[in-house]
Structures are given as C-alpha cells and as structure tokens.
C-alpha cells in the first residue's frame, strides 16, 4: 500500500516555464488536496477536490490549475512559473473532509530561478 505518491521529488524551473506536479493515491479516497509550504511557515491550501470531476479553490490558487479525471490522480499545473512559486508542494488525500485525517505525500521541492 503506497499511500500518496508525488513526483518529481525535486525540480528546478526557469521563470516562465510550465510543469505539472503529479499526485496519485491508492486508498480510494474521495478528497484530495494540494498545499504549498514556504520555509518556516505552515501549509497553505492551493486547490482541493471532493471527487472526480469536482475541484475548488483554496487560499492561494493564483498561478495554478488542477484537474481530477480519476479518483486516484490529482495533478497540479503551473503555467508560467514565477520566483514566488518557489516552495515545497504537498499533496494529501482523505476519505472524508470533516472527520477523517489527511494522508500526505513526501512533497515536491520546486525552485524557480
């Protein structure tokens, strides 16, 4: 049972480039989330999904896009990378949102130069 798997683990982008951060879970969870964590700070919610085909914005959605075509996968897209998007990105999933814990991946460390 792999849990939540994120790829890549590390990536360096140039300003203006695009990339997709991959996230997949094998727990058949309905809810999936994307967070970013800047150094020394807490996690900020970017986007979340309550099931395949349904997504909604979190606190800091600008500059990002998501899609959820299957229960397992929840990719995060950066269209025009900016230095302010340098951060560690965490994907998480849970069976329910309110009373079930979130399971986190190991993160993707992204640097934009």
Judged by CB under 8 A, the chain residues 34 through 53 that form the site for other proteins are: 35, 40-45, 48, 50
The residue among 14 and 98 lying less far from other proteins, judged by its C-beta, is 98
56 binds other proteins (CB under 8 A): yes
**Nearest distance in Å: CB 49, other proteins:** 9
Give residue 40's Cα distance to chain centre.
19
E-assigned strand segments in 1-113: 4-7, 10-13, 19-25, 31-37, 43-51, 54-57, 64-66, 76-78, 87-94, 103-104, 108-112
Q: Would you tell me which residues interact with other proteins (CB under 8 A)?
A: 4, 31, 33, 35, 40-45, 48, 50, 56, 58-59, 90, 92, 97-99, 101-107
């Amino acid at each position: 049972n792999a849990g939540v798997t994120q790829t890549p683990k590390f990536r360096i982008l140039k300003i203006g480039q695009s990339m997709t951060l991959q996230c997949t879970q094998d727990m058949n969870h309905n809810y999936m989330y994307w967070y970013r964590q800047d150094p020394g700070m807490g996690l900020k919610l970017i986007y979340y999904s309550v099931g395949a085909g349904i997504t909604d914005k979190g606190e800091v959605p600008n500059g990002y896009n998501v899609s959820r075509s299957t229960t397992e996968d929840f990719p995060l897209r950066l269209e025009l990378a900016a230095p302010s998007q340098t951060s560690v990105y965490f994907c998480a999933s849970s069976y329910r949102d309110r009373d079930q814990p979130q399971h986190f991946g190991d993160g993707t460390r992204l640097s934009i130069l």
